[in-house]
Amino acid sequence: MSSALPPGHRRTHPLTPLVTGWRIVVGAVAVLTAQNLAALVGDFTVRRLLIGLGVLGAAVVIGVVVSALSWWATSYGVDADGVVRRSGLLSRTRQFAPRARIESVSLERPLLARLLGLAKVRIEVAGGGESYLDIAYVRSAEAEDLRRRILEVAAGTVPGAGPATVDGPAPGAGASADGGPAGATGAAGAETSGTAAARAPGTPVDPGAAPAIGAAATSSPGAPDPADRPAGEGDLAARARAILHDGVTDGELIAEIPTERLVRSLLRDSSFLLGLAASVIGLGVTIALAIWQEGLSIAILVPLLPAVIAVPRYVFGRIESGWGFVSRVSDSGLRMRRGLANTRADTIAPGRIQRLELRRPLLWRAPRWTAVTVTVAGIDEDEDGGARSVLPVGTPDELASTIGHLAPPLGTGDDLAALERLLTAPARELPGLRAPHPLQWYARRTVVTVLLPGAVVRRSGLLARRVQIVPRDRVQELSVGDGPLARRLGSLDLSVAVAGHTVELDALPRADALVLHAALALDAATARRYTKRDGWPVPPLAAAAPAASGASRTGEGR
């Protein structure tokens, strides 16, 4: 096999087969054990044990050899056009991420990779779910430089070169969802938002008052910057903190979630508790019925092992998705880190946001905690612990700063006050569109649709209140659903699609739904096609972020 690489390409770290090969071994052992566990326990002998260990050793060798051959045939390159990955032994595959379609770049460090000082670089590409390109694995320091360089390429600030690293901080800002720059000025954003308000017929509601978000959140909340730590904190604690946050220690701090708050939030989350209770009860009933019918034996318990493992895995997954979460603002957007055993660091540029969702369960209302997730084209909607969660559980100050750096202006007098009212006020007290017929009593009391100058907002939920925000300049497709029952009730269903998600505005009054459809159709037809992308509304705090974070950044690039 030839060792020659395409020009400008290089291989990943030589230890990659060790990180990836164990999966083959674990899969083979799991299948063989699950099928023969009862026989192995009943007919155990030393000879059978030695044979099993020999088979296991052979599986390890085969797994490492297959992974090594795959590693030898895999290479990657970065140039001014995007990122290329070539792989395959017998059938060659070429994956290409064009620079204009790169949505975000994340660094993932599974436990074994962390122990070996390696990281995986994932390039999220605009498109449907599972549209990404992985470079696995490279040294952690090299992964940071590679991430910075790919973001430079996405912004169009690199004239073109191979995969060599870039020294020093990278200039410029992120790109928009369709490849345009995201670093537009706040004035331009406000001007575009005003234009959207002027062209929208019959804007029904303005739930806020007073100055905008930018005036309400001029400084970052949360814990103090590591550079400003108390004099008593030693070098050992500082190094431990840096290792814990995996390099996300430079820039302006936005949010940092303590472990105590994360655990308390799970204990106060009714959906998590109900799901956990249902899983435990269902598992207990299944085990009891199996024992009652067949008696207690290994053969009965083996098929139930996946269900037994699923419960602690569900709990651990929820904890890990917010463990050690820290977010900081850089010149390329919001940089986030999370994870316990497997860590992940993501960067999301403000111009990539297609939709935001705020969630506040019943027992979070007293401390005013809020979770924020976003939709970014190319990032799978079901991806647990991924870049979609930009604030797992945040205080009001952390919410204000996160929204200020990600959400474009809503067009109210005070966007933050408007969002707080949408989260706290009963739905029947909010002005907006709601189900017209008395038979739709649940929707009439819990769901309301609000059209603002800069976005369409959907408030829903009884125990856990949800506020979905779709910027009007991001609307890509609209559809109206009608049927015999809807006509009888005098309602219409409106679907609003953005890149990567569809928001269902169901049970709207027919006349108001048609007016709303006309207003959003005008946005979808004109905002993307005839408006310059660098004039799209940008978050109030995003334009000032590079200047604010540059002073505190020693080597952080894009």
**Given a cut of 80, is residue 445 above it in pLDDT?**
yes
Distance CA 126, CA 142 (A): 25
Give the tokens for residue 40.
């192995």
Last residue of a domain, one of 136, 155, 174: 155
What is the DSSP annotation of 428-440? GGS-SB---STT-
Q: What total of structural domains would you count in the chain?
A: 3
Q: Give residue 92's pLDDT band: very low, low, confident or very high (50, 70, 90).
A: confident
Q: Helix 510-530 crosses helix 186-199 at what angle (to 10 degrees)?
A: 140
Please tell me the predicted confidence (pLDDT) of residue 544. 58
Please tell me the predicted confidence (pLDDT) of residue 236. 64
Please tell me the predicted confidence (pLDDT) of residue 287. 82
pLDDT digits (tens, 9 = 90+) for 141-169: 899 899 989 988 888 776 544 443 333 33
Q: Which of 491, 453, 459 is CA-nearest to residue 472?
A: 453
Same domain for 310 and 378, yes or no, is no
The answer to whether position 181 is within a domain reads no
Distance CA 319, CA 493 (A): 37
Q: Give residue 90's pLDDT band: very low, low, confident or very high (50, 70, 90).
A: confident
**Is residue 414 helix, strand or coil?**
coil
Same domain for 70 and 29, yes or no, is yes
Q: What is the dihedral of CA 156, 162, 165, 168, to 10 degrees?
A: -40
* 120: CATH: 2.30.29
Same domain for 40 and 114, yes or no, is yes
Helical spans, DSSP H, in 182-234: 186-199, 213-216
Distance CA 176, CA 165 (A): 24
The answer to whether position 160 is within a domain reads no
The answer to whether position 103 is within a domain reads yes
Same domain for 328 and 302, yes or no, is no
Same domain for 145 and 211, yes or no, is no
The answer to whether position 387 is within a domain reads yes
Helical spans, DSSP H, in 363-459: 396-406, 415-424, 441-446
pLDDT digits (tens, 9 = 90+) for 51-73: 777 877 887 788 778 888 889 99
Q: Which of 121, 130, 29, 12 is CA-nearest to residue 72?
A: 12
The whole domain housing 274 covers 263-318
Q: Which of 255, 275, 374, 380 is CA-nearest to residue 318?
A: 275
Last residue of a domain, one of 271, 302, 318: 318
Q: Is pLDDT larger for residue 457 or for residue 40?
A: 457
The answer to whether position 444 is within a domain reads yes
Q: Is the distance from CB of 479 to CB of 462 less than 8 angstroms? A: no
Q: Is the distance from CB of 545 to CB of 135 less than 8 angstroms? A: no
Containing H/E element for 494? strand 491-498
Same domain for 303 and 339, yes or no, is no
Q: Is the distance from CB of 501 to CB of 381 less than 8 angstroms? A: yes
Same domain for 402 and 371, yes or no, is yes
Q: Which of 157, 82, 132, 189 is CA-nearest to residue 410?
A: 189
Distance CA 98, CA 82 (A): 5
Q: Helix 259-267 crosses helix 305-320 at what angle (to 10 degrees)?
A: 130
- The pairs formed by 133-136 with CB atoms below 8 angstroms and a separation of 24 or more are 133/83, 133/85, 133/95, 133/96, 133/97, 134/85, 135/12, 135/76, 135/83, 135/85, 136/12, 136/16, 136/19, 136/20
Same domain for 31 and 46, yes or no, is yes
Helical spans, DSSP H, in 200-269: 213-216, 235-244, 259-267
pLDDT digits (tens, 9 = 90+) for 14-40: 998 888 877 666 666 666 665 555 555
Q: What is the mean predicted confidence (pLDDT) over 286-306? A: 74
pLDDT digits (tens, 9 = 90+) for 499-519: 878 999 999 999 999 999 999
The answer to whether position 176 is within a domain reads no
Same domain for 378 and 274, yes or no, is no
Residues 6+ apart with CB under 8 A from 200: 451, 453, 472, 519, 522, 523
Please tell me the predicted confidence (pLDDT) of residue 376. 84
Containing H/E element for 394? strand 389-394
Please tell me the predicted confidence (pLDDT) of residue 187. 33
Same domain for 203 and 313, yes or no, is no
Distance CA 248, CA 295 (A): 54
**Given a cut of 90, is residue 173 above it in pLDDT?**
no
Q: Is the distance from CB of 465 to CB of 359 less than 8 angstroms? A: yes
Amino acid sitting at position 357: E
Please tell me the predicted confidence (pLDDT) of residue 325. 93
Q: Which of 549, 520, 540 is CA-nearest to residue 218?
A: 540
The answer to whether position 64 is within a domain reads yes
What does each C-alpha distance from 157 to 151, 299, 387, 496, 558 come to in angstroms?
9, 62, 24, 34, 11
Last residue of a domain, one of 287, 302, 318: 318
Same domain for 118 and 252, yes or no, is no
Distance CA 330, CA 519 (A): 35
Neighbours of 374 (CB within 10 A): 24
Q: Is pLDDT larger for residue 554 or for residue 417?
A: 417
Please tell me the predicted confidence (pLDDT) of residue 241. 57
The answer to whether position 294 is within a domain reads yes
Same domain for 417 and 285, yes or no, is no
Q: Give residue 302's pLDDT band: very low, low, confident or very high (50, 70, 90).
A: low
What does each C-alpha distance from 460 to 428, 449, 476 come to in angstroms?
11, 9, 23
Q: What is the pTM of this model?
A: 0.75
Distance CA 473, CA 193 (A): 9
Q: Is the distance from CB of 151 to CB of 558 less than 8 angstroms? A: yes
Q: How many CA atoms lie within 13 A of 513 on its CB side?
A: 25
